[in-house]
Amino acid sequence: MTNLKSHPSPAREDRSSNRIKKGAARSRRRPPRIVEKILDVRIPNRHGRLTFGAYRFQMPDGRTQEIYLIYVNVHASVVNVRINSPCFTGDIFGNNRCDCNWQLLETLRIIKDRRNGLVIYPLEHRGRSLGIVNELRYFGLLAEGKTPRDAANALGQNRDHRDFSACVAVLKDLGIGAVRIITNNPHKTAFLRRSGIRIIGRIPIVIPQDKHEDVRAANVARGHQFRGPK
């Protein structure tokens, strides 16, 4: 007797595939869950009166994501907000091949001068979410003479891998529904708007023409906007 294997019908396979797709879509829609948070910590620092906090999230796919906060008065009707991806070589060691430290310091100046603002510093986003190893590979390629754009493409950084959903969860947990976003990146603005955060305005971070010109050119190619809205 011939042993015939049982195969699922095409209709059953289609139903199974649809269930998987719907399950994945529900998983993507589930918001991150707050596991732990601490707010209103004052730490003496060289920048003046800044307040610090932190969140730990359980993401829908099981990952843990930690986010650092630096802020001045987040209780205004409209809060100046920047989502600042960490760059260890720039933020800690003052790397001159990127504008990351410049952008962070300029943001701190803005929120101090306006006495209103929040910096969301998601640790998972270091190296545009490709990690510190690829961050160093990127700067190694720049040292070999590659342009920022070519180096990014070589490492697969031509796409933005960052997930901003935990950043949105921070804003909602703090009761911040309307923001003036500090960014040159239109993708961040679009993500917040799609997530239900009202964008009242945008504050660009203006990089002096004599600084980081190659990085500026690469960011222009990514669609970054260095002028404020008219």
CATH number, domain with residue 110: 3.40.50.10990
Tens digit of each residue's pLDDT (9 = 90 or more) over 61-110: 999 999 999 999 999 999 999 999 998 888 888 888 788 888 999 999 99
- Asked whether residue 45 is domain-assigned, the answer is yes
HSE-up of residue 104 (Cα within 13 Å, Cβ side): 20
Q: Which candidate, 168, 174, 177, places its Cα nearest to that of 77? A: 177
Structural domain includes residue 20: no
d(CA 94, CA 83): 20
Q: Is the pLDDT of residue 27 over 70?
A: no
Range of the domain at 178: 31-221
| Tokens 């203006």, located at residue | 206
- Mean pLDDT calculated for residue range 216-221: 50
Burial, 149: exposed, middle or buried (Cβ in 10 Å; 0-12, 13-18, 19+)? Answer: middle
- 22 part of a folded domain: no
State the total domains in the chain. Answer: 1
The answer, yes or no, to whether residue 15 has pLDDT greater than 50, is no
Please give the positions annotated as active site.
Answer: 160, 162
Q: Is residue 215 one of the residues assigned to a domain?
A: yes
Tell whether 18 is covered by a domain: no
Does 126 map to a domain? yes
The verdict on residue 11 lying in a domain is no
